[in-house]
Structure 1
Amino acid sequence: MKETAIVYCESKFGTMDGKTANGLVRSSGKYKIVGVIDSTKAGLDAGEYLEEKPNDIPVFRSLEHALENLTETPNQFIYGIAPSEGFLQNNERDIVLTAMEKGMNIVNTLHEFLTDDKEFMNHSVKYGVTINDVRKPPQKKDMHLFSGRILDIKTPIVAVLGTDSAVGKRTTAVILEEALKEKGLNVAFVATGQTGLIQGAKYGVAIDAIPSQFMTGEIENQVMRAYENENPDIIIVEGQGALSHPAYISSCSIIRGSRPNSIIVQHPPKRENLGDFSYMKMPTLKSEIDLIETFSKSKVVAVTINHEGMSDKEVLDTVSEYEKDLNVPTTDVLKYGCDKLINQFFEVYPELKSKTKKVLVN
């Protein structure tokens, strides 16, 4: 059985900085999410608030409020905010310490490692709980340099990249993974961020925590592990940030390390400025596609939309516009599913369709 978990996301649930909590509410293969902490949305159903689909995950105003209303204390306390600075606020230290005192293990998604903090470590010993610093990298002696082994893989590798951070790359990748599995295909998913790992991805690495010299090799190693262990029909690789983004190099390493044959680009048409850098304009979708194709030497085979701030009509109109102007299938997987993407894969990789047919016949 899955361990139970409550996700801390004060004032950020449903926003860009709440992407870890958002992702766990949508899908969690590792933990059973029993609540979200966000006083600004207290009393709501998390699924109803996030995407108008109730999922019986309540939003609580505080940790104390949650423990008063839950039948059992959750096994895990997950820090579900992804702030750009990556550190605990002073008041949040007390909340995490209280969770430990209540017997909850801590899942820390920040760049600040709680296992390096004497107070947290003393608390973990005193109350018999564990701390999991998801972004803490392995020792350098255990890291991998790029080896070139990935150049011999014949299995299709598809990367889901984007035009900014927190635009839904992981969400699209996870939904696509499940849709392909429903077609009977053997799919391997490689996570590249903390949320995907917490959700239960079997393969992956929090790439933004890895020293730059090893980033490409660590991605290659995870793709190779998935390839060798699963013998998959297709490999889906989660993107991070954006190749054009001035503050992040993750996309560069993901492309170089995974060597994708095809690429999907996720884009929020209504976002005018970069999420954590409001003084900088978003790139155009066309400019990002051109940059990706030039850098990767691979083709962008589809576009997926983040519908933040958009009406249903605007989404449909944008889909039509992009398909006409860019000549690639376009969809919003949260609203319309993955049929267009899968049909495109069958066009690009005909062998996938034949494998699907064999599975369906059997």
Structure 2
Amino acid sequence: MKKTALIYCEGHFGTMDGKTANGLIRSSRKYEIAGVIDSTKAGMDSGECLEGKNNGIPIFESLEHAVKMLPLLPNHFIYGIAPAEAFLKEDERKIIMKAIELKMEIINPLHEFFTDDAEFLNHSIQYGVGLHDIRKPVPSKDLHLFSGRILNIQTPVVAILGTDSAVGKRTTSVILEAALLEKGLKVAFVATGQTGLIQGAKYGVAIDAMPLQFMIGEIENEIMKAYDDENPDIIIVEGQGALSHPAYVSSCGIVRGSRPGAVIIQHPPKRTNLGDFSFMKMPTIESEIELVESFSSAKVIAVTINHENMTDEEIENVVTDYEEKLELPTTDVLKHGCGKLISSLFELFPEIEGKTNKVLSN
């Protein structure tokens, strides 16, 4: 039975910094989401706001408003913002304290660890609730260095990389996983960020919180756990940031640790500057493909589109343009599904097509 949760996303739901909340509204194996807090969109349906389709999950003005309107108080409070500064503001601290007083378990995806905060810790003990720091790594003695075990597995590994942070790599990963499961395949998804872990991914680690010397080994270890436990037909690994990104090294560790046999790249064609670094221009899709293929032994087999600020006509034009220029299948999985991606995977890994139990649809 899923746990119930209320997501805090003040001022950011549906935006890049609201990606944790956005992801949980789109998909959550672990939590039944009761509502979202964002006063700028209060009264709206979260599905209508995010996807143009009602999902019955309301957006509230405040924590007090949610408590008043919901028939039952959710037992978890999720901080759903991924701010560039990665730390709480003073007014947010007060909201967390109030949620603790309401005896809600606190789910914290930030680099700021609540279990290291004396005020939060004492308050949580007083009210008998837990603080869950999703990004907090285990002690170094329990971390893993690269072992080379992954070099001996035959299961196809596919990495979903991108040209920037918050472009939809996790969303594409989850949708592709579901589409492959629908074909009857045994799929293992390895999350590499806080949102995927909160969504309920069985395997994964918050890679950007790892000490650098353990990053590659931890990715390898999670893949090997999935391989040993599930004997999957295919393994999907979520990307982080971008290989070209000047401020992040996560993609480097993911490529080295997962040793993908294929890469899919997610790109937002209308984004001109890096999301959290507006003084820097976005890479082109061509330059990212070249970098990935020179850094990795894998080929880029498809491009997926993030349609932010794009009309349906613009999406269609970009898909046609990319397929002509790049000679790669291109799609927007939120709009058009994963048919092209699955066809590309079957072409590269024909052994997995024979394990399906359904006919591939367009």
Task: Identify the TM-score tier after normalising by the shorter chain.
Answer: over 0.9
Is 1:136 matched with 2:136?
yes
Which residue of structure 2 lines up, in the alignment, with residue 224 of structure 1? 224
Shift of 1:358: 8.6
Cα distance in 2 between the residues matched to 1:193 and 1:48: 26
1:182-193 aligned within 5 A? 182-193=182-193
CA contact (8 A) 2:183 2:358 kept: no
Equivalents in 2 of 1:352, 1:319: separation in Å?
Answer: 26
1: CA distance, partners of 2:266 / 2:179:
17
What letter corresponds to residue 250 of structure 1 in structure 2? S
Distance 2:9 2:180 in 1: 31
SS class of match (1:95): helix
TM-score normalised over the length of structure 1:
0.98
SS at the partner of 2:356? helix
Amino acid at match of 1:229: D
Are the counterparts in 2 of residues 184 and 359 from structure 1 also a CA contact under 8 Å?
no
Match of 2:329 in 1: 329
Residues in 2 aligned to 1:84 and 1:75: alpha-carbon distance in whole angstroms: 28
The aligned runs of 1:228-307 (5 Å cut-off) are 228-307=228-307
Shift of 1:43: 0.2
Change (3 A) 1:103 1:351: same
Q: Deviations over 1:247-281 (max 9, x none)?
A: 00000000000000000000000000000000000
In the aligned structure 2, how far is the partner of 1:250 from the partner of 1:134? Answer: 17
Q: Which runs of 5+ in 1 are unaligned?
A: none
Q: What CA distance in whole angstroms lies between the structure 1 residues aligned with 2:259 and 2:136?
A: 25
How many Å separate the matches in 1 of 2:128 and 2:359? Answer: 48
Which amino acid in 2 is paired with 1:36? V
* SS of residue paired to 1:325: helix
Q: Which residue of 1 aligns with 2:29?
A: 29
Match of 2:210 in 1: 210
Deviations 1:192-232 (A, max 9, x none): 00000000000000000000000000000000000110000
Q: Distance in 2 between matches of 1:174 and 1:119?
A: 36
Could you tell me how far apart the structure 1 residues matched to 2:53 and 2:209 are? 34
SS in 1 for 2:83: coil
TM-score, structure 2 length as denominator?
0.98
Show the 5 A alignment for 1:150-169. 150-169=150-169
State how far apart, in whole Å, the 2-side matches of 1:89 and 1:358 are.
Answer: 50
What's 2:17 paired with? 17
Post-superposition offset of 1:353: 1.0
- Evaluate the alpha carbon distance shift between residue 243 and residue 42 of structure 1 in structure 2; reply closer, same or farther with a 3 A threshold: same
Label 1:348 to 1:128 Cα distance change in 2 as closer, same or farther (>3 A): same
Report the Cα distance in structure 2 between the residues aligned to 1:217 and 1:141, rounded to whole angstroms: 13
Q: How far did residue 349 of structure 1 move?
A: 0.8
Q: Is the 8 A contact 1:218 1:257 kept in 2?
A: yes
| Cα deviation 1:88-132 (Å, max 9, x = unaligned) | 111100000000000100000100000001111111111010000
CA–CA distance in 1 between the matches of 2:104 and 2:36?
Answer: 15
Give, in angstroms, the shift of residue 11 of structure 1: 0.2
Tell me, what secondary structure is at the counterpart of 1:356?
coil
Q: CA deviation at 1:357?
A: 4.2
- 1:198 equivalent in structure 2: 198
Matches within 5 A, 1:63-74: 63-74=63-74
Spell out, residue by residue over 1:124-166, the C-alpha distance to the aligned partner (whole angstroms, 9 max, x if none).
1110100000000000000000000000010000000000000
Aligned to 2:315: 315
Tell me, in whole angstroms, the C-alpha distance in 1 between the residues paired with 2:139 and 2:34: 34
The answer for the alignment partner of 2:345 in structure 1 is 345
Question: 2:79: which partner in 1?
Answer: 79
Per the alignment, residue 90 of structure 1 pairs with 90
Aligned residues of 2:191 and 2:203 also touching (Cα < 8 A): yes
Kindly provide the amino acid, as one letter, of the partner of residue 43 in structure 1: G
Match for residue 2 of structure 1? 2
Q: CA shift at 1:8, angstroms?
A: 0.3
CA distance in 1, matches of 2:226, 2:319: 33
Q: How many residues align?
A: 360
Separation in 2 of the partners of 1:154 and 1:53?
40
Q: Hey, what does 1:62 align to over in structure 2?
A: 62
AA in 1 matched with 2:42: A
Partners of 1:278 and 1:315 lie apart in 2 by: 24
Give, as a single letter, the amino acid of the residue that structure 1 aligns with 2:288: E
User: C-alpha separation between the residues in 2 aligned to 1:256 and 1:60?
Assistant: 43
Distance 1:356 1:133 in 2: 38
The CA distance in 2 between the partners of 1:85 and 1:204, in whole Å, is: 24
CA distance in 2, matches of 1:86, 1:229: 34
Matched-pair identity in %: 70
> In 2, Cα distance between the equivalents of 1:278 and 1:230?
42
State the SS of the aligned residue for 1:355.
Answer: coil
User: Which residues of structure 2 form unaligned runs of 5+?
Assistant: none
Q: Deviations for 1:160-194, whole angstroms, at most 9, x for unmatched residues? A: 00000000000000000000000000000000000
Paired letter, 1:61: E
Shift of 1:243: 0.2
